[in-house]
Structure 1
């Protein structure tokens, strides 16, 4: 699970900086990945969040705001 957390941290840092290239260590090996778009990085973060939640036995937290327009 520590490797997943490290991967997630690298992806979040890349998303924050706007870079599409991510480097992280996994199993003693350095990996370098180049994503095609920021949407791919966001999808990878979501997938890792699901994996971490499955390993820890919790559900990922989801916030779904609802909005109403106009008057009732």
Structure 2
């Protein structure tokens, strides 16, 4: 297709309700794909790392608390 033909097609579709709906679907699909493929895995990894760090902290606190109690009872 030549550039003038594409330009004419764009001018015809510019105000068309079908084009508006199609563009809306395209934008929505792009946003959903970006969220699912890029953003959600990043957030999931970050939340998992934060949870692991908190679990390790709690585990270390319990370990040190247990060691203090056994040394006090001895």
Q: TM-score under structure 2 normalisation?
A: 0.29
Which is strand-richer, 1 or 2?
1
Q: Based on CA coordinates, which of the two structures has the bigger radius of gyration? A: 2
Q: TM-score under structure 1 normalisation?
A: 0.29
Which is helix-richer, 1 or 2?
2
- The structure, 1 or 2, with the larger RCO (C-alpha pairs under 8 Å, 6+ apart) is 1
